Each structure stands twice: as C-alpha cells, then as structure tokens.
Structure 1
C-alpha cells in the first residue's frame, strides 16, 4: 500500500529566527523517513529581510513543492492556520512550528495511525532551550480515547505542534476558532465532543523550543480570563459538569496568576499535562 499523501502546514511570523526555521523545515522534510507531499508555509504579515531570504531559499532548494501563503498583516495563529488549511492540497495535514524540530520517524508513525482511521493524532514532545539534543523536560500526552477525553476536561490533551489531522474532521467542527492562545485546546475539545477518532503517541516525536519567557507567557490576567472563558464554553456544550467547571476555574485560574518562577517548578513537576502556551 502506498503511503498517504499529506501536507505540511508551517506558520511563520516576523519574530521567527531564520536559522530556527531552516532547522524546523529540514527536520520535517529532508530528514523524515516519510516526507510530506507538499509544504504550505503561511507568512503571517510582513517579515524581516533575513527571514524573507530564508523563505526564498527554502522554496528554491526544497525536495518537495513549497507554497508560501503571504498574509498582508499579522492576524495571529488562528487566522494563519485556517488560511493555510485553505491552501493545502491534501486531505491530511501535519502541523509544525517554525522553531521546533521533528524527529525523523515522526510522520511515518503518525500517518500509520491516520491510515488506520484516526482523525487526529498527536504525540509527545521534549522541551529544549538552546540545543535540541539537550532536553529539559518531556510532555507525555494521554493515550486511548477514554483517557484523552477525561484528560481534556482539565488540561489540553494534545501537544499542538505535534498534531496530524484530517481536514474533513476540522471542517465538521468549524476549524480553528479565536480563543487567545488556547485555540488548539478548544479545537481538540470540539473534535472529541463531535465523536472524532483521536489518539496520541506517547513517544516524543517533536522537540519543542522554549525560551526564558515561556512561563511568564503562560500566566497573567489575560491568560486567566481566557482560561475561564474556555471553561464556560466547555460547560455550555456539556463537555464538563458544573462541579468540574467550578473546580477548573479555581485551580487553573490560580495557576495562571502564579509568578513565573513558581509555574516553572509546577510545570516541570507535572509535565505532560499539556498546558497550553503557544509561541508566536
């Protein structure tokens, strides 16, 4: 049986580092045992000259077709991903961030499950700060439909940069919707609630780059308000009970308002909970 054709979807914005993008792309294309059929890079607004030059180099030298979708202004990840989905030629799409690293067997393992009938397949990740070979922590996602659904009531069960999904499943729930930095969590909840077949591979198939300010970005009043709004939506659609909603509002709200140094300790202690914290 021939391997399924699929698109690589990779958003880029002005803050991305050209050298990080080069590594992200090469690890997700050149180094893969199963390569994507095409790559769709969404340029989310104007970018500096060096980054633009790197995009030109990627298009010129890539072993697979690459299309750069240029958005006139920076609209954020939700809009960029939906625009990229519109441009993808294949019914299966693999997510990638512009500063992370895919391990060589990532797509071969995930597409095997997609071929088996799953609509969304995520994976584990290791986090690194500067050297991809030096992991500082690991995010191990839940596996199995029941565990994923139970986990989703309190935490994001999927590591967003690892997702591979069927576009039809996303179309059925309205694709990405704006939800602060938790658009991926809300997408996963809606997919589970819709009856989509979802799974995770526990092994780390992506190396996720974190910077010094990562834990500060996971907190504050705005993040707490987004968290509470997400919990209200989960209650509205019947995904959580009122008791679960009240518990989550208190516990997760407190976490968001803690100092970054404390969040770092807690996150490392309970790593694998899939707390959202998208870059960009």
Structure 2
C-alpha cells in the first residue's frame, strides 16, 4: 500500500525528567532522523521546574518541525497523559518516544516501511544504557511475526513500548490507553493483538533505552504482583489465555514480581530480555 509518510511523534514529559535528557531525546527523534516526524506533540504532565520548562519552550520555538506542547495543570500519570497526547495528534500514524531515551537515525524510516505495507503497530528492539548513550548494555529483542508475537504476549509483553509506531485508528478502536498500574503498555498490546490488528516487530535495536539503578526494584513488590494477577484475570476473561496458562502465569510471574531485585535482574537478562512492562 502507498500513503504519504506523515506521522506525529508523541513525547510525554514530567517533573522527574531533565532538560538535557529531553533535548537529547528530541534531537535524536527529530533532528537526525532519515524520516523525521511531521509534528511533535509534547505532553507536559503537570508542573515542571524552570530548566525543563525553558527547554520545552526552546524546542517549541526552534524545532524544524511543528511542536505542540500540551501543558496539563496537574500530574495525571502516564496513561492520562498519553491519551491527552493521542487526542492532540493531527496525523493518522503516531510514534512513541520517552523523554530520556535515544532513537537511532533510521528508526522511523524502517518502521514506516512496515506501516506503509499495512501494519497497524510496529515495535522494535532496543539496547540499554545507564548514563552514557555510547556505552551500551543488554539488548531487548522482541518476537517477530504475527503468531510468535501473539504466543509471546500470553506470558510476556511482546512490544518495547517506547519504540512503538501505530495507527491512531487502531489505538482508538481498542479504547486507547487504560489504567493498569505500570502495565498499561502491556494491556494495550494485548488488546491490539486480540482485535485482529496487524502487529509487527523489527528485532534490531532502533532505540537506546535508559535504565537506572532502581529499574528492577520498580518492577517488583506486592503492588506489582497484584497488578500482574489482575492483568492475568483480564486476559483469561477475554479468552486470550487458557485457564492452564492463567494458573501458570499467576504462579510464575507473581513469584517473579516478589523476588529480590538482584535475582530479578539475573532472570530477566537470561530468560526474558524482550520487555516486561513497568520498566520505567
């Protein structure tokens, strides 16, 4: 299929982000892309400090593509911020970006090729870094192919959320982002797959993903385990998993969430690596 290469970039920010990280994320996703976005929608989720506010004003004034900053009066959380951004995007295809990551220069061009070929959602692999984007760590390689993506989704998130490019109509058809603890991205992906939409992944890392020292602590605890169990119940109710798969996931994934951070890090690196939700 052939269509004009026009898409919006959706970039949420909040008080915990830094001006330097936002500038780098923006530059990597706009200034050096072989296929830059047609517009950037930045959602400022509540008040931010003066340095970040100044950086957003600078990007709004000096960007080579139109920038629209949606300034929410209070911090509403990622789910509501993303939905506000989706409503403000003017183009039928939307790319996601987090405020502290780095896109590789050909990321959007490669994703657009699959979108133009009929895909409704396209994710990519990503590679981790801690503070220096040139010092890279573990790769997160997602499953490829419709059946493998669906099978993977029954046990783990098949998409790296910050890498997504999707059709706005596809996301609207499944109700947009819905509150689900830190697993709103996983729940979105499940609903997109279950809807029959065509979802694809590019296995190569087209995004550098910033991880902090507390990433695995945030991925665990009783609250996260309860969210995991709630997600599994939702998947069972909609027929996405069998009862046997549900019981296995409740035990295995619930136990993972309750493990010490060091143990989770080892298991994640060795057996998963393709993206549990709640990474940030």
Residue 61, structure 1, aligned to residue 62, structure 2: yes
CA contact (8 A) 1:126 1:135 kept: yes
Two-structure CA RMSD over aligned residues (Å): 0.9
Segments of 5+ residues of structure 1 without an aligned counterpart are none
What TM-score, normalized to structure 1?
0.98
Counting matched residue pairs gives 279
Match of 1:70 in 2: 71
Match of 1:130 in 2: 131
Segments of 5+ residues of structure 2 without an aligned counterpart are none
Structural mapping, 1:84-95, within 5 Å? 84-95=85-96
Match of 2:109 in 1: 108
Q: Distance between the aligned counterparts of 1:274 and 1:210, measured in 2?
A: 12
The alignment partner of 1:8 has SS state of: strand
Structural mapping, 1:1-280, within 5 Å? 3-279=4-280
The alignment partner of 1:29 has SS state of: helix
- Displacement after TM superposition at 1:273 (Å): 3.0
Q: Distance between the aligned counterparts of 1:153 and 1:272, measured in 2?
A: 16
Q: CA 1:158/1:192 → structure 2, altered by over 3 Å: closer, same or farther?
A: same
The alignment partner of 2:275 has SS state of: coil
Q: Deviations over 1:80-108 (max 9, x none)?
A: 00000000000000000000000000000
CA contact (8 A) 2:14 2:46 kept: yes
Q: Distance between the aligned counterparts of 1:48 and 1:271, measured in 2?
A: 37
Q: Distance between the aligned counterparts of 1:202 and 1:13, measured in 2?
A: 29
Q: Distance between the aligned counterparts of 1:123 and 1:153, measured in 2?
A: 19
Q: Deviations over 1:193-225 (max 9, x none)?
A: 000000000000000000010000000001000
Q: Distance between the aligned counterparts of 1:56 and 1:242, measured in 2?
A: 51
The alignment partner of 1:225 has SS state of: helix
